[in-house]
Amino acid sequence: MAAAALVFRNIVITGASSGIGAALARHYAAPGVTLGLVGRDAGRLCAVAAEARAAGAAAVEGALDVRDRVALTAFLIGFDAEHPVDLLIANAGVLDGRRADGSIEDADAARRVIEINLLGATDTLHAVLPGMRARGWGHIALVSSLAALSPVTDAPAYSASKAGLLSYGKALRAALAGEGVRVSVVCPGYVVSAMTDSHIGHQPGKISADAAARLIAAGIARNKAVIGFPRVLYALAMITPFVPEAINRVATRGIRFHVVPRDL
């Protein structure tokens, strides 16, 4: 449903220390805006906060792991008390999957990916949601992936975590309809970042993190339920469930990949 764009003054972005999250911080940084920036790497987070301040914004850094629910909730509730959040972008995420030797992810890797990408995001939004509901105002954007629509052979837990987030976001959007709190789910294709550096394989339609941030911000401003891009890959991902398994397997051969392990 098209609706008037909200004006965002107090914005929280998780996963702000690199890639898409850092680009979103740069995009929204402006005089009169306060950014709450979350990530694990204090040094990279500090550099993003400094860029935001140079653009005239205020910035509060939360160097923490989204799996640490106590620290995460304390930071977000503290930030919200000082700066009532009107835009929350739950973007922190990791990729794991098939390794160069062909081995598939083990149980620990699957758990870690789902804890960060899905439970980290739900813990994030639930720390901020009561304040938004009480104020009857706000927008929550959950950064999922096209892998939510078209599960990726080489990253089962990643696909599951992102499908879970898509489903959660769509249901939450419906549940909050009429309360003034909006929810969008972002489904990017390939974007230049440390994550795609660790993804060894063909990445068609790859765009810069700054371009992704602009598309995400435009989709949020239009209150889109699902912000999927690039357009062609989004359309292909949408029809995947209707394509016979054997055809899909052949069609996706060219985008098989392996992951170079990072500190997850």
Determine, following the binding rule CB under 6 A, whether residue 88 of this chain makes contact with ligand NAP: no
Residue 199 beta carbon to ligand NAP: minimum distance, rounded to whole angstroms: 7
Q: How many residues does the chain have?
A: 264
Q: Choose the binding region for ligand NAP from 125-133, 185-193, 222-230, 233-241 (rule: CB under 6 A).
A: 185-193
Determine, following the binding rule CB under 6 A, whether residue 41 of this chain makes contact with ligand NAP: yes
Name the strands in the sheet holding 138-143, side by side, starting at the edge strand that comes first in the sequence.
58-63, 34-39, 10-14, 87-90, 138-143, 181-188, 226-229
Determine, following the binding rule CB under 6 A, whether residue 194 of this chain makes contact with ligand NAP: yes
Determine, following the binding rule CB under 6 A, whether residue 91 of this chain makes contact with ligand NAP: yes
Binding mask 110-139 for ligand NAP (x = CB under 6 A): ------x---x-------------------
Nearer to ligand NAP, 7 or 42 (CB): 42
Determine, following the binding rule CB under 6 A, whether residue 214 of this chain makes contact with ligand NAP: no
End-to-end CA distance of the chain: 37
DSSP 8-state class, residue 40: S
Q: Is 28 a catalytic site residue?
A: no
Q: Choose the binding region for ligand NAP from 52-60, 85-93, 124-132, 166-174 (rule: CB under 6 A).
A: 85-93
Alpha helix stretches (DSSP H) within 29-151:
42-54, 69-82, 107-114, 120-135
Q: Can you say whether the dihedral through the CA atoms of 174, 176, 179, 183 is positive or negative? A: negative
Residue 234 beta carbon to ligand NAP: minimum distance, rounded to whole angstroms: 11
Determine, following the binding rule CB under 6 A, whether residue 164 of this chain makes contact with ligand NAP: no
Which residue is catalytic, options 28, 158, 190, 234?
158
Angle, helix 69-82 to helix 120-135, in steps of 10 degrees? 30
Type of residue numbered 83:
H
Q: Choose the binding region for ligand NAP from 27-35, 76-84, 191-199, 235-243 (rule: CB under 6 A).
A: 191-199
Q: What is the dihedral of CA 126, 5, 162, 28, to 10 degrees?
A: -90
Q: Which of 6, 47, 55, 67 binds ligand NAP (CB under 6 A)?
A: 67
Q: How many residues at the interface with ligand NAP, by CB under 6 A?
A: 30
Angle, helix 120-135 to helix 156-176, in steps of 10 degrees? 10
Residue 194 beta carbon to ligand NAP: minimum distance, rounded to whole angstroms: 4
- Residue-by-residue DSSP string for 166-233: HHHHHHHHHHHTTTTEEEEEEEE--B-SHHHHTEES--TT-B-HHHHHHHHHHHHHTT-SEEEESHHH
Determine, following the binding rule CB under 6 A, whether residue 168 of this chain makes contact with ligand NAP: no
Residue 223 beta carbon to ligand NAP: minimum distance, rounded to whole angstroms: 20
- For 197, residues 6+ apart whose C-beta sits below 8 A from its C-beta are 260
Residue 137 beta carbon to ligand NAP: minimum distance, rounded to whole angstroms: 25
Active-site residue set? 158
The site for ligand NAP (CB under 6 A) is made up of 14-21, 39-41, 44, 65-67, 91-94, 116, 120, 143, 145, 188, 190-191, 193-196
